[in-house]
Structure 1
């Protein structure tokens, strides 16, 4: 029997527009995209429909209506106090108006669009706005469903675990080429978790977590972790900031006797770098093409949720990402599993099993070996494994970054200029690329374009801060010890910046009849550099690789003001 909580109707949309021709065009496009569209031509009709219909998934409201303004219609609505439960609203206006924009912001209207409107773009933007609302609905629905199933039979509990855990993975984790995972619960609910997600920077993030305890209580402990991972990776935050926020949230929400062991990995193909943070998990192994261990990365930190924010350490270990081998991680459910004689599976047996195991069946080979060793049908603890095969990951990442010519002119986004200036220690406290990425996504740019822009902004702003303002030398990062020294110096010098030290980021979207371009300007008040000299360095020199990457992703790259101002063009 299907749960009454699950709605199987199409997305419901109320379109309030006096222009009959435009209303019909939008309704047709939206209907073709799966929307159930209800139309109204004025405020009075819209209010009557809203009173008769329990809930719409999206309101698309024109500002200019025969009997008043669209924002007045919104003002008359009774909205839930929680932002995540409010119906998303898009406002369509004839022209830009700063005062209207402020009213929209105060009312919680999600977006403000200026006519003429591309119906297809509206459909895509509309579906994107409903995702958060649907995700919140799903969490509430699953929570209610779980509460009903707690007192049910074991079969019902197993079904609830399947629905809960698999939906969690499906809606938060991305499909990554070259990445495989295996999870096995020792009870109805699982306290282990393996998630993968792509960042706007082009990096791939992996979260591997093992919550203290077993069953439902351990699974519920993972929810704040998943929320932080999903939101912060999506916005392009750096790995240290992500694990710090995970720890802060768990430390605040969990009882004192609860914690979550976790390892977080960032695979940055563009910069050919792997970063690892390990808190309380077994070692993460860097394997060669034959499965032999090149290096291991044991836990150097406390598990998440134990230390307060001041005591917590978020520094990571890094190594050079090459086109062979891969990365393997497991929970202690593998190594701690015992057999009938009381012997543990252990690290030595694990390393022996990894060596020579077929890459495409690595998970199955290890699990089969563990079952044979233990001689039991069910393992003692939750078990989770992951493996990333570098050649496949790199190949598909490179394919994604092949430039496909000038497609930006088809976006239909009106010209704009957006500028941000930061002073002093603000530069170390703000994730500049993430702020820019949020803005570009809100303006309607597609994800591939935003990802290119994010990477360019990240490289230019990092170069401006670290080399122009902080006077750090890239040569420090040529070996692992230098990496650590580099980031220690970075933190020390960031704290010494004054209000006279400034960074300016300017985004200008220019539209002409022939083409559309995004100009990215990054200017810093510190020292300049000889651009030509840097670009003449060998490909292997780390100091020039960021600039080479920007040149690859940009149509044009220029430096002015003795290197203090960088201008990149994206088409």
Structure 2
């Protein structure tokens, strides 16, 4: 722990000299302690820490340098600064002082101005060092937090991809990320009708930001495929989701296809990606981009035009991201598309990706590519449709379901609520997007209920790293004193069109007066502001210990909907 106020010790056996030194530095406003003997000095440094010690070499009952030796044997996070004062001024004596561990030397008689400047200079350096230490600690905490968040986001991203992607015979793929996260995605899964759906998508940018843009695409694609929607309707819904739920500068270029094994037809849509290819006996048919990337057009300008191809047993389909063909070489030239086409003409489905990667590696003049690179190949004649279509039970959506869960005392853990609620949400047949929104809302509301309701904590503490530390310190202390009288209850009600979430706690609430209503986000943290953005309705019931959020099962909120109080 870094101290905030420097403490200074004066060791001189002559009271008049001791007082003279004190008078010289008193105006600096430091807490000053005085010792008048060798024994008293040893006692002071044994019982407490001093940042700056002015130490007379000659003491009535001992040698000041012995005090310095004792001091240097002690372990301190910040080594005390020791200034030796003495009438001796030989070069050998001064050198011996520094060898023992002195930081500075001042000969007698003491010049008050010079002494004061030395102490002042030390204080400025020490305080700069402490500022650096605080900043470094804050940076380390941020780095740890970023690593934790990245690890969690990576887990969620990989988990979702594993959940929504089905490995099928005849489909080959490769993704080479530019950074820890890939903004490219390759997905395939079979629908209830036995058709195979596939997608190669490339989100704006790189890394985590691009991966987050991709998340709503995954859920919509998988859910609608499993419900048997046609390709154009799936594309339209993904376009709407990305358009409504992503920032204006975020979009997703993609190639999507649907393969009908009964008719041997391949339907392809290309929005903002390099040409996709159907390769048969060395001859290629291109599927060029005819539409804007997903999330750019909006409902009015959506282009769902697709191309349909009759397939046979000898051909294969290939889609690539622009990271492959827009990679520059040492001469700043893009990878020539003709090289890719020539390699494809010599390939079959099983080795087409390896062949294109060989061309890419020969062109690449650096360890990692400039962009995420993804490739997908589909060979229809190798595809085997699922023996039994996956059926979705939608009976819950036609009725009403109510779930109630209460925890008390030391059982009040956010993760316990979320784990229980997550299991219920998975059983209630709702879209992934609604599940994600519900999970976010539950996390924020339950955290508010525990922290502000049961524990009575104030979010205003969390304004800087020290405030955060103080906040969590108080949180740990108060968590240890929770009793069965402290509780949080979560209720979820699934209706035909909405998911209603209510979180209530045993606290006294935070809506004290009208001024609190106007500054709700300040007292409840930023959680309610986030919930407000996700919900079609948010109601906080005075005195503030119950919050209701309504999430639409069919779409997102409108601009006119806002926070209300009842």
Question: Which interval holds the TM-score relative to the shorter structure?
Answer: 0.3 to 0.5
TM-score (norm. length: structure 2): 0.43
Of structures 1 and 2, the larger Rg is shown by 2
TM-score (norm. length: structure 1): 0.42
